[in-house]
Amino acid sequence: MSSETPQLPVSQPITPSAQAQNEQAKEVNSTCVGPQSEMAGKASSCAGCPNQSSCASGEAKVDPALEAVKDRMSLVKHIILVLSGKGGVGKSTFSAQLAFALAQKGKQVGLLDVDICGPSIPRMLGLVGHEVHQSASGWSPVYVEDNLGVMSIGFMLPAQDDAIIWRGPRKNGLIKQFLTDVNWNELDYLIVDTPPGTSDEHISIVQYLKASHIDGAIVVTTPQEVSMADVRKELNFCRKTGIPVLGVVENMADIKIPLSSIGQAHSGIRFVDADGSDITEKTLQL
Ligand SMILES: Nc1ncnc2c1ncn2[C@@H]1O[C@H](COP(=O)(O)OP(=O)(O)OP(=O)(O)O)[C@@H](O)[C@H]1O
Ligand code: SF4
Ligand SMILES: [Mg+2]
Protein backbone atom coordinates (compact mmCIF):
# COMPACT_ATOMS: atom_id res chain seq x y z
CA MET A 1 0.00 0.00 0.00
CA SER A 2 1.20 3.46 -0.82
CA SER A 3 0.70 6.47 1.40
CA GLU A 4 1.01 8.86 -1.54
CA THR A 5 -2.00 10.89 -2.45
CA PRO A 6 -3.39 10.27 -5.92
CA GLN A 7 -2.86 12.58 -8.85
CA LEU A 8 -6.35 13.96 -9.41
CA PRO A 9 -7.45 15.19 -12.79
CA VAL A 10 -8.05 18.65 -11.42
CA SER A 11 -7.70 21.72 -13.54
CA GLN A 12 -6.69 23.96 -10.69
CA PRO A 13 -5.02 23.34 -7.37
CA ILE A 14 -7.37 23.36 -4.42
CA THR A 15 -6.80 26.68 -2.69
CA PRO A 16 -7.69 27.04 0.97
CA SER A 17 -10.90 29.04 1.17
CA ALA A 18 -12.46 30.52 4.26
CA GLN A 19 -14.48 27.32 4.42
CA ALA A 20 -11.37 25.17 4.27
CA GLN A 21 -9.81 27.18 7.06
CA ASN A 22 -12.92 26.53 9.07
CA GLU A 23 -12.54 22.83 8.46
CA GLN A 24 -9.00 23.14 9.73
CA ALA A 25 -10.33 24.75 12.87
CA LYS A 26 -12.81 21.91 13.30
CA GLU A 27 -9.96 19.43 13.26
CA VAL A 28 -8.72 20.91 16.49
CA ASN A 29 -12.14 21.76 17.88
CA SER A 30 -14.59 18.89 17.84
CA THR A 31 -17.22 21.01 19.60
CA CYS A 32 -17.29 23.61 16.80
CA VAL A 33 -20.84 24.87 16.38
CA GLY A 34 -20.16 25.48 12.68
CA PRO A 35 -19.40 28.75 10.91
CA GLN A 36 -22.99 28.92 9.63
CA SER A 37 -24.38 28.88 13.17
CA GLU A 38 -25.80 31.96 14.86
CA MET A 39 -23.36 31.25 17.68
CA ALA A 40 -20.32 31.05 15.38
CA GLY A 41 -17.38 32.80 16.96
CA LYS A 42 -19.41 33.52 20.11
CA ALA A 43 -19.93 30.06 21.62
CA SER A 44 -17.75 29.05 24.55
CA SER A 45 -16.22 26.32 22.37
CA CYS A 46 -14.95 29.05 19.98
CA ALA A 47 -12.54 30.43 22.58
CA GLY A 48 -9.03 30.18 21.18
CA CYS A 49 -10.12 29.11 17.69
CA PRO A 50 -8.01 30.82 15.00
CA ASN A 51 -11.20 31.61 13.03
CA GLN A 52 -12.99 33.29 15.90
CA SER A 53 -12.91 36.83 14.49
CA SER A 54 -14.00 35.82 10.96
CA CYS A 55 -16.78 33.61 12.39
CA ALA A 56 -18.00 36.32 14.75
CA SER A 57 -18.08 38.94 11.97
CA GLY A 58 -19.95 36.62 9.61
CA GLU A 59 -17.12 36.71 7.05
CA ALA A 60 -16.56 32.97 7.37
CA LYS A 61 -20.14 32.28 6.38
CA VAL A 62 -19.54 33.30 2.82
CA ASP A 63 -17.79 30.83 0.55
CA PRO A 64 -17.90 31.60 -3.18
CA ALA A 65 -18.13 27.87 -3.83
CA LEU A 66 -21.61 27.83 -2.31
CA GLU A 67 -22.99 29.73 -5.30
CA ALA A 68 -21.26 27.34 -7.71
CA VAL A 69 -22.73 24.35 -5.83
CA LYS A 70 -26.15 25.97 -5.94
CA ASP A 71 -25.86 26.47 -9.70
CA ARG A 72 -24.81 22.90 -10.39
CA MET A 73 -27.38 21.42 -8.00
CA SER A 74 -30.19 23.50 -9.48
CA LEU A 75 -30.43 20.75 -12.11
CA VAL A 76 -30.91 18.09 -9.43
CA LYS A 77 -34.47 17.58 -8.19
CA HIS A 78 -33.82 15.44 -5.10
CA ILE A 79 -30.69 14.92 -3.01
CA ILE A 80 -30.59 12.05 -0.54
CA LEU A 81 -27.74 11.31 1.86
CA VAL A 82 -27.10 7.76 3.04
CA LEU A 83 -25.61 7.90 6.51
CA SER A 84 -24.68 5.73 9.46
CA GLY A 85 -22.64 6.26 12.57
CA LYS A 86 -21.37 2.70 12.17
CA GLY A 87 -19.02 1.24 9.58
CA GLY A 88 -19.77 -1.86 7.57
CA VAL A 89 -23.53 -1.83 8.07
CA GLY A 90 -24.36 -1.58 4.37
CA LYS A 91 -24.43 2.12 3.46
CA SER A 92 -22.69 1.60 0.13
CA THR A 93 -24.73 -1.51 -0.66
CA PHE A 94 -27.94 0.33 0.14
CA SER A 95 -26.88 3.44 -1.83
CA ALA A 96 -26.11 1.31 -4.87
CA GLN A 97 -29.38 -0.64 -4.58
CA LEU A 98 -31.38 2.55 -4.16
CA ALA A 99 -29.68 4.10 -7.19
CA PHE A 100 -30.40 0.99 -9.30
CA ALA A 101 -34.00 0.82 -8.10
CA LEU A 102 -34.66 4.46 -9.00
CA ALA A 103 -32.90 4.08 -12.35
CA GLN A 104 -35.04 1.02 -13.08
CA LYS A 105 -38.12 3.18 -12.55
CA GLY A 106 -36.86 5.37 -15.38
CA LYS A 107 -35.45 8.14 -13.19
CA GLN A 108 -32.23 9.94 -14.06
CA VAL A 109 -29.92 9.08 -11.16
CA GLY A 110 -26.48 10.12 -9.93
CA LEU A 111 -24.57 8.16 -7.29
CA LEU A 112 -21.87 10.16 -5.53
CA ASP A 113 -19.41 8.32 -3.30
CA VAL A 114 -17.89 10.77 -0.79
CA ASP A 115 -16.16 8.05 1.20
CA ILE A 116 -12.77 9.45 0.32
CA CYS A 117 -10.67 7.09 2.42
CA GLY A 118 -12.68 3.94 1.62
CA PRO A 119 -14.51 4.32 -1.68
CA SER A 120 -16.35 1.03 -2.31
CA ILE A 121 -18.84 2.08 -4.98
CA PRO A 122 -16.59 1.42 -8.03
CA ARG A 123 -15.98 -2.16 -6.87
CA MET A 124 -19.60 -2.79 -5.92
CA LEU A 125 -20.81 -1.64 -9.31
CA GLY A 126 -18.13 -3.50 -11.26
CA LEU A 127 -16.57 -0.24 -12.40
CA VAL A 128 -13.00 -0.77 -11.18
CA GLY A 129 -10.54 0.52 -13.77
CA HIS A 130 -12.93 3.10 -15.22
CA GLU A 131 -11.68 6.66 -15.36
CA VAL A 132 -13.28 10.06 -15.01
CA HIS A 133 -12.95 12.25 -18.09
CA GLN A 134 -12.73 15.99 -18.01
CA SER A 135 -14.36 18.19 -20.59
CA ALA A 136 -15.12 21.88 -20.87
CA SER A 137 -18.36 21.33 -18.96
CA GLY A 138 -16.70 19.49 -16.07
CA TRP A 139 -15.88 15.96 -14.95
CA SER A 140 -18.06 13.33 -16.59
CA PRO A 141 -19.49 10.69 -14.28
CA VAL A 142 -18.91 7.03 -15.15
CA TYR A 143 -22.18 5.66 -16.54
CA VAL A 144 -23.25 2.20 -15.45
CA GLU A 145 -26.58 2.62 -17.28
CA ASP A 146 -27.72 5.41 -19.59
CA ASN A 147 -29.62 6.96 -16.69
CA LEU A 148 -27.23 6.07 -13.83
CA GLY A 149 -23.99 8.02 -13.48
CA VAL A 150 -21.43 7.41 -10.76
CA MET A 151 -18.66 9.56 -9.28
CA SER A 152 -16.08 8.40 -6.76
CA ILE A 153 -12.49 9.13 -5.86
CA GLY A 154 -12.00 5.41 -6.51
CA PHE A 155 -11.95 6.26 -10.24
CA MET A 156 -9.03 8.60 -9.74
CA LEU A 157 -6.62 6.35 -7.88
CA PRO A 158 -3.67 5.07 -9.88
CA ALA A 159 -3.95 1.73 -8.03
CA GLN A 160 -7.06 0.33 -6.36
CA ASP A 161 -5.19 -0.43 -3.13
CA ASP A 162 -3.63 3.02 -2.76
CA ALA A 163 -4.32 4.51 0.65
CA ILE A 164 -5.64 8.07 0.84
CA ILE A 165 -4.37 9.84 3.90
CA TRP A 166 -5.89 13.29 3.78
CA ARG A 167 -6.69 15.81 6.43
CA GLY A 168 -9.96 17.73 6.63
CA PRO A 169 -9.28 20.71 4.35
CA ARG A 170 -8.15 18.51 1.47
CA LYS A 171 -11.19 16.26 1.78
CA ASN A 172 -13.31 19.38 1.89
CA GLY A 173 -11.66 20.60 -1.33
CA LEU A 174 -12.41 17.38 -3.18
CA ILE A 175 -16.02 17.26 -1.99
CA LYS A 176 -16.43 20.83 -3.14
CA GLN A 177 -15.10 19.82 -6.56
CA PHE A 178 -17.45 16.83 -6.66
CA LEU A 179 -20.34 19.24 -6.14
CA THR A 180 -19.19 22.03 -8.45
CA ASP A 181 -17.23 20.31 -11.23
CA VAL A 182 -19.13 17.10 -11.95
CA ASN A 183 -21.36 17.49 -14.95
CA TRP A 184 -24.37 15.43 -13.85
CA ASN A 185 -26.72 17.24 -16.21
CA GLU A 186 -30.35 17.02 -15.12
CA LEU A 187 -30.99 14.50 -12.38
CA ASP A 188 -34.13 13.30 -10.67
CA TYR A 189 -32.08 11.93 -7.77
CA LEU A 190 -28.56 12.36 -6.47
CA ILE A 191 -27.75 9.65 -3.92
CA VAL A 192 -24.75 10.43 -1.73
CA ASP A 193 -22.94 7.49 -0.11
CA THR A 194 -20.96 8.63 2.93
CA PRO A 195 -18.29 7.14 5.20
CA PRO A 196 -19.21 6.05 8.73
CA GLY A 197 -19.55 8.67 11.45
CA THR A 198 -19.99 12.41 11.46
CA SER A 199 -16.59 13.54 10.26
CA ASP A 200 -15.07 15.94 7.74
CA GLU A 201 -16.89 14.50 4.75
CA HIS A 202 -20.29 14.83 6.44
CA ILE A 203 -19.70 18.37 7.61
CA SER A 204 -18.47 19.41 4.16
CA ILE A 205 -21.27 17.78 2.20
CA VAL A 206 -23.94 19.19 4.49
CA GLN A 207 -22.48 22.70 4.46
CA TYR A 208 -22.21 22.81 0.68
CA LEU A 209 -25.50 21.13 -0.09
CA LYS A 210 -27.48 23.15 2.39
CA ALA A 211 -26.77 26.17 0.18
CA SER A 212 -28.80 24.27 -2.38
CA HIS A 213 -31.19 21.67 -0.95
CA ILE A 214 -31.08 18.29 0.77
CA ASP A 215 -34.28 16.28 0.76
CA GLY A 216 -33.10 14.24 3.69
CA ALA A 217 -31.05 11.34 4.97
CA ILE A 218 -31.58 7.62 5.06
CA VAL A 219 -29.80 6.18 8.07
CA VAL A 220 -28.55 2.61 7.89
CA THR A 221 -28.00 0.33 10.87
CA THR A 222 -27.86 -3.33 11.75
CA PRO A 223 -29.96 -4.66 14.64
CA GLN A 224 -27.11 -4.96 17.13
CA GLU A 225 -26.92 -2.45 19.99
CA VAL A 226 -23.29 -1.61 19.13
CA SER A 227 -24.50 -0.38 15.76
CA MET A 228 -27.63 1.33 17.02
CA ALA A 229 -25.71 3.26 19.69
CA ASP A 230 -23.58 4.86 16.96
CA VAL A 231 -26.58 5.39 14.73
CA ARG A 232 -28.31 7.39 17.47
CA LYS A 233 -25.38 9.80 17.25
CA GLU A 234 -25.98 10.08 13.53
CA LEU A 235 -29.62 10.92 14.20
CA ASN A 236 -28.42 13.66 16.52
CA PHE A 237 -26.15 14.93 13.75
CA CYS A 238 -29.17 15.12 11.43
CA ARG A 239 -31.15 16.95 14.09
CA LYS A 240 -28.35 19.45 14.74
CA THR A 241 -27.76 20.12 11.06
CA GLY A 242 -31.47 20.28 10.25
CA ILE A 243 -31.52 17.35 7.83
CA PRO A 244 -34.84 15.46 7.81
CA VAL A 245 -34.47 11.74 8.42
CA LEU A 246 -36.43 10.06 5.62
CA GLY A 247 -36.09 6.61 7.14
CA VAL A 248 -33.92 4.15 9.01
CA VAL A 249 -32.87 0.94 7.27
CA GLU A 250 -32.37 -2.05 9.53
CA ASN A 251 -30.00 -3.97 7.32
CA MET A 252 -28.95 -7.60 7.67
CA ALA A 253 -31.80 -8.16 10.13
CA ASP A 254 -32.61 -11.55 8.65
CA ILE A 255 -29.10 -12.89 8.61
CA LYS A 256 -29.15 -15.64 11.20
CA ILE A 257 -26.77 -18.54 11.54
CA PRO A 258 -28.09 -21.60 13.37
CA LEU A 259 -25.85 -22.41 16.30
CA SER A 260 -25.80 -26.01 15.14
CA SER A 261 -24.08 -25.03 11.89
CA ILE A 262 -21.13 -23.39 13.68
CA GLY A 263 -18.12 -25.59 13.41
CA GLN A 264 -19.56 -27.50 10.45
CA ALA A 265 -17.27 -27.53 7.45
CA HIS A 266 -19.84 -25.80 5.22
CA SER A 267 -20.52 -22.89 7.62
CA GLY A 268 -16.90 -21.76 7.63
CA ILE A 269 -17.36 -20.36 11.16
CA ARG A 270 -14.95 -21.44 13.86
CA PHE A 271 -13.88 -19.97 17.17
CA VAL A 272 -10.16 -19.49 17.76
CA ASP A 273 -8.28 -18.26 20.80
CA ALA A 274 -5.69 -15.47 20.89
CA ASP A 275 -3.01 -17.93 19.69
CA GLY A 276 -5.14 -19.04 16.75
CA SER A 277 -5.92 -22.49 18.21
CA ASP A 278 -9.33 -23.87 17.27
CA ILE A 279 -11.61 -23.78 20.35
CA THR A 280 -14.92 -24.30 18.52
CA GLU A 281 -15.86 -27.56 20.28
CA LYS A 282 -14.99 -26.18 23.70
CA THR A 283 -16.94 -22.96 23.08
CA LEU A 284 -20.06 -24.76 21.92
CA GLN A 285 -20.12 -26.77 25.15
CA LEU A 286 -20.31 -23.62 27.28
N1 LIG B 1 -28.33 -7.13 3.43
C2 LIG B 1 -27.13 -7.67 3.29
N3 LIG B 1 -26.97 -9.00 3.26
C4 LIG B 1 -25.76 -9.56 3.14
N5 LIG B 1 -24.60 -8.86 3.05
C6 LIG B 1 -24.70 -7.54 3.08
C7 LIG B 1 -25.95 -6.87 3.20
N8 LIG B 1 -25.72 -5.53 3.21
C9 LIG B 1 -24.38 -5.39 3.08
N10 LIG B 1 -23.76 -6.58 3.01
C11 LIG B 1 -22.32 -6.82 2.89
O12 LIG B 1 -21.70 -6.24 4.05
C13 LIG B 1 -20.44 -5.68 3.70
C14 LIG B 1 -20.40 -4.22 4.12
O15 LIG B 1 -21.35 -3.51 3.32
P16 LIG B 1 -21.07 -2.04 2.82
O17 LIG B 1 -19.70 -1.89 2.27
O18 LIG B 1 -22.23 -1.66 1.98
O19 LIG B 1 -21.14 -1.28 4.22
P20 LIG B 1 -20.76 0.24 4.51
O21 LIG B 1 -21.65 0.65 5.63
O22 LIG B 1 -20.83 1.03 3.27
O23 LIG B 1 -19.27 0.10 4.99
P24 LIG B 1 -18.24 1.31 5.24
O25 LIG B 1 -18.63 1.88 6.57
O26 LIG B 1 -16.92 0.63 5.28
O27 LIG B 1 -18.40 2.27 4.13
C28 LIG B 1 -20.26 -5.87 2.20
O29 LIG B 1 -19.49 -7.02 2.01
C30 LIG B 1 -21.68 -6.10 1.70
O31 LIG B 1 -21.70 -6.93 0.56
S1 SF4 C 1 -14.83 30.19 15.77
FE2 SF4 C 1 -16.27 28.68 16.57
S3 SF4 C 1 -17.70 28.30 14.91
FE4 SF4 C 1 -15.94 29.31 14.00
S5 SF4 C 1 -14.67 27.59 13.26
FE6 SF4 C 1 -13.97 28.20 15.33
S7 SF4 C 1 -15.03 26.82 16.72
FE8 SF4 C 1 -16.11 26.74 14.74
MG1 LIG D 1 -19.33 2.27 2.37
1-47 pLDDT per residue, tens:
344 444 444 433 333 344 554 555 555 456 788 777 888 889 988 88
Residue 273 scores a pLDDT above 60: yes
Q: Which ligand has an atom closest to residue 29 CA? A: 2
88 lines ligand 1 (CB under 6 A): yes
Strands 245-250 and 148-152: unpaired
Q: Is 151 exposed, middle or buried (0-12, 13-18, 19+ CB in 10 A)?
A: buried
Identify the CATH number of the domain in which residue 137 sits: 3.40.50.300
pLDDT single digits (tens) 213-229 = 999 999 999 998 888 88
**If we measure between CA atoms, which residue out of 207, 170, 137 comes closest to residue 8?**
170
What's the whole-number average pLDDT of the chain? 84
Query: Is residue 2 domain-resident?
Result: no
Helix (H) or strand (E) holding 94: helix 91-104
Q: For atom 5 of ligand 2, which residue has the closest CA?
A: 22
Q: For atom 2 of ligand 2, which residue has the closest CA?
A: 46
Of 82, 92, 124, the residue with max ligand 1 atoms within 8 A of its CB, to mutate for a pocket test, comes to 92
Query: Is residue 198 domain-resident?
Result: yes
Residues 144 and 128 in one domain: yes
46 lines ligand 2 (CB under 6 A): yes
Q: Is 275 exposed, middle or buried (0-12, 13-18, 19+ CB in 10 A)?
A: exposed
Question: Distance, CA 241 to ligand 2 centroid (Å)?
Answer: 15
Length of the chain, please?
Answer: 286
**CB 252 within 8 Å of CB 89:** yes
Q: What total of structural domains would you count in the chain? A: 3
What pLDDT does residue 30 have? 66
The amino acid at 70: K
Query: Is residue 148 domain-resident?
Result: yes
Question: Distance, CA 263 to ligand 3 centroid (Å)?
Answer: 30
Partnered with residue 272 across adjacent β-strands are 278
What pLDDT does residue 23 have? 53
Residues 122 and 102 in one domain: yes
Residues 128 and 231 in one domain: yes
Range of the domain at 234: 65-250
Q: In angstroms, what CA-CA distances link 247 with 78, 96, 175, 254?
A: 15, 16, 24, 19
The confidence band for 91, taking pLDDT boundaries of 50, 70 and 90, is very high
Q: Which ligand has an atom closest to residue 221 CA? A: 1
Residues 147 and 123 in one domain: yes
Question: Distance, CA 214 to ligand 1 centroid (Å)?
Answer: 24
pLDDT single digits (tens) 147-196 = 999 999 999 877 777 777 777 777 888 898 999 999 999 999 999 999 99
Residues 76 and 215 in one domain: yes
Residues 111 and 225 in one domain: yes
